[in-house]
Amino acid sequence: MSTADLVGNDTNGVRGIDDERRAKFKNAGKTNDELRRKRVEENLELRKIKREDTLMKRRNVDLDGLVSSPESPQREQTSELTPDAEVQLCSKNLFEGASGPKMFNSLQRLRKLLSREANPPIDIVLRAGLLPRLVAFLSYDDENVQLEAAWAVTNIASGSSEHTAAVIQAGAVPVLLQLFNTSPSMPVAEQALWGLGNIVGDGPDKRDYLLSLGFTTDIISCMKSKPDIPPSFVKNLAWIISNLTRGRSPPPDYQTVKRFLPVLSYMLDYNNVETVVDALWSLSYLSDGPNDQVQGVVDAGIVPKVVRIMKVANDPRLMTPCVRVIGNVVTGTDEQTDAALKAGALDAVGHALNSTKSTLVKEACWLISNIAAGTPEQLKKIFEANVLPVVRAVMQHGEYKCQKEATWVIANIMMGGTPKMLEVLINEHYIEPFVAMLKGTDAKLVVMLLDALATGLQVAARSGFDEKFKLIVEECGGLDTLELLQNHENEDVYNKAHHILENFFCDEGEDAVEIEGAAGDGKFDF
């Protein structure tokens, strides 16, 4: 008999319990939305994990020789001059009105200095007063000069916050925006975009400054008006959108950045991994918030696309933001969770669960735990998807941070599932690793586990299989652990452990246990 058969179709809990009585029934009396909200609050650090392997700023160091003067070799010999001397030489030519090849060569030489992978002389360039001159060259009536100047400004903006502030104070932003919007040269427009992206990536204040100038509209118009955008340009657009949608303190104005959703949906179909990765991260930021933000992602038809990527992705760079997006969706309403389930989220999350990357396993368990905080019908789909054996293995053998998230899955099932679901957990050895987690040092987690254990014991007593449940708890050392928890410094832990021992493991008190939440038809609603 399959797990799904054991669970059966009894997914209707009692809905007639009045709100006051429900509120007294610990976590089991909370609504699904409340349970999900609790998960969001207690795993806030999960959302705060910085993106891995992705920089908020990028220096243009790999296109050396793209533009060159007819009178100079495309790749120059390594200079024997010090950076100070080279900057001074460039400064002399650029400030003394040199023109033609001499001016261009000095500008290009300066750009190459700023393109060095190690220790670019940004401070030396700023001290020489060259930044205003570079900004002036952005308006020069020569695309090659504009490109070199934009490139140099981009790399200055890739430095520290002080360097970025200097670029803004020099008046570069309006000129870069103009080049991005109107330049007939695609390389110039793309380099201007890159520079703006580095400014946005410096922090929320710079992000909001660019958004206030209508940068959202500029990007959307670019995507619509330039059908033959090269892949590198689209990749930069995706990266910049991720910078514009990023941040929690404060977050960007949602009404402004939600306009990117159709563009991001298009980018998910793009044949470039970096573009798709940045688009997914943007969607993870846009879905990380109230239910109306989740609904925006659902309404844009993005959920099936993300799930499709999850199903085939072997690259953690893709899988991590995919799990984050769908994980955010299932923290929403039951209807939003249903949208993820209908798209096949539970089938797709198996790749992440079996990953060798612990952060990915942790977030996959987090995703499933939020589904487990849903309706009985949604819980049933967890059993049918056959992901629980892997969750159990994570509880038994995973890293502690993964074990905690996996335990949340089982706890939510114990608090919100049907008696048949609980019986499956008992018969298929989920209780043993669950009880082992009571030895953890996280008091909040232990309190939640004790609530779930008490709820499960109540359900088992009402349904007639409490003796087996209690025997398993005892055989795996649960009674000893509960005894020790009565000495815990946290008062909630002490009280809940004492309550379980007194009401479920004392012979004289068993018959007196009143099972709150039971209704006349023998079903339960949590």
Distances (CA, A) of 75 to 64, 79, 90, 104, 151: 8, 11, 17, 15, 17
What is the per-residue pLDDT for 375?
95
What is the per-residue pLDDT for 134?
95
Architecture of domain 429-506: Alpha Horseshoe (1.25)
What is the per-residue pLDDT for 312?
92
| pTM score over 0.85 | no
The pLDDT tens digits of the residues spanning 473-489 come to 999 999 999 999 999 99
| Domain 289-417, CATH | 1.25.10.10
What is the per-residue pLDDT for 372?
97
What is the per-residue pLDDT for 120?
92
- For the residues 352-381, what does the mean pLDDT come to? 96
Contacts of 391 (CB under 8 A, 6+ apart): 353, 365, 368, 406, 409, 410
Whose CA is closest to 336, among 124, 32, 82? 32
Three-state secondary structure along 67-108?
Answer: CCCCCCCCCCCCCCCCHHHHHHHHHHHHHCCCCHHHHHHHHH
What is the per-residue pLDDT for 20?
32
- For the residues 404-412, what does the mean pLDDT come to? 97
What percent of the chain has a predicted confidence (pLDDT) above 70? 81
Supply 434's token pair: 């669950």
Classify the phi-psi angles of 97: left when phi > 0, otherwise alpha if psi is within -120 to 50, otherwise beta: left
Supply 354's token pair: 């079996």
What is the per-residue pLDDT for 301?
97
The pLDDT tens digits of the residues spanning 242-278 come to 999 999 889 999 999 999 999 999 999 999 999 999 9
Please identify which residue in the block is written with the tokens 């977030």. Answer: 363
How far apart CA 79 and CA 86 sit, in angstroms, is: 8
What is the per-residue pLDDT for 123?
94
How far apart CA 293 and CA 258 sit, in angstroms, is: 8
More confident residue, 227 or 395: 395
Q: Where are the domains of the chain?
A: 289-417, 429-506
Supply 419's token pair: 């008696």
Residue 232 parent element (H or E): helix 231-245
**Strand partners of residue 518:** 524
pLDDT band at 67 (very low <50, low <70, confident <90, very high): very low
State yes or no: pLDDT of 8 exceeds 70.
no
How far apart CA 378 and CA 110 sit, in angstroms, is: 61
More confident residue, 50 or 439: 439
What is the per-residue pLDDT for 63?
47
* Identity of residue 214: G
443-463 vs 400-416: helix axis angle to the nearest 10?
30
The pLDDT tens digits of the residues spanning 141-170 come to 999 999 999 999 999 999 999 999 999 999
41: helix, coil or strand? helix
Sign of CA dihedral 436, 6, 323, 219: negative
According to DSSP H, which parts of 25-78 are helical?
A: 32-42, 44-47
Q: Please count the CA atoms within 13 angstroms of the CA of 131 that sit on its side-chain side.
A: 23
State yes or no: pLDDT of 95 exceeds 50.
yes
What is the per-residue pLDDT for 309?
97
The pLDDT tens digits of the residues spanning 173-204 come to 999 999 999 999 999 999 999 999 999 999 99
State yes or no: pLDDT of 512 exceeds 50.
no
How far apart CA 522 and CA 420 sit, in angstroms, is: 12
How many Cβ atoms sit within 10 Å of the Cβ of residue 120?
Answer: 21
How far apart CA 223 and CA 263 sit, in angstroms, is: 8
358-371 vs 316-329: helix axis angle to the nearest 10?
20
Cis peptide before 204, with omega less than 30 degrees from 0?
no
What is the per-residue pLDDT for 228?
81
Burial letters 53-71, b for 16+ CB under 10 A, else e = eeebbbbbeeebeebbbee
pLDDT band at 87 (very low <50, low <70, confident <90, very high): confident
- For the residues 452-471, what does the mean pLDDT come to? 96
State yes or no: pLDDT of 507 exceeds 90.
no
The pLDDT tens digits of the residues spanning 367-385 come to 999 999 999 999 999 999 9
State yes or no: pLDDT of 450 exceeds 90.
yes
> Using CA atoms in the order 264, 266, 267, 271, what is the torsion angle rounded to 10 degrees?
170
pLDDT band at 100 (very low <50, low <70, confident <90, very high): confident
* CB-based contact 473:426 (threshold 8 Å): no
478-485 vs 466-475: helix axis angle to the nearest 10?
80
More confident residue, 313 or 79: 313
- For the residues 511-519, what does the mean pLDDT come to? 41
Please identify which residue in the block is written with the tokens 């089991």. Answer: 28
pLDDT band at 94 (very low <50, low <70, confident <90, very high): confident
State yes or no: pLDDT of 46 exceeds 90.
no
How far apart CA 190 and CA 183 sit, in angstroms, is: 9
What percent of the chain has a predicted confidence (pLDDT) above 90? 72
State yes or no: pLDDT of 1 exceeds 60.
no
> Radius of gyration (Cα) for the chain, nearest Å?
29
Residue 445 parent element (H or E): helix 443-463
- Domain 289-417 and domain 429-506 have a common topology: yes
* Percentages (nearest 5) of helix, strand, coil residues in the chain: 70, 0, 30
What is the per-residue pLDDT for 36?
56
Residues, the chain: 526
How many Cβ atoms sit within 10 Å of the Cβ of residue 255?
Answer: 7
What is the per-residue pLDDT for 59?
72
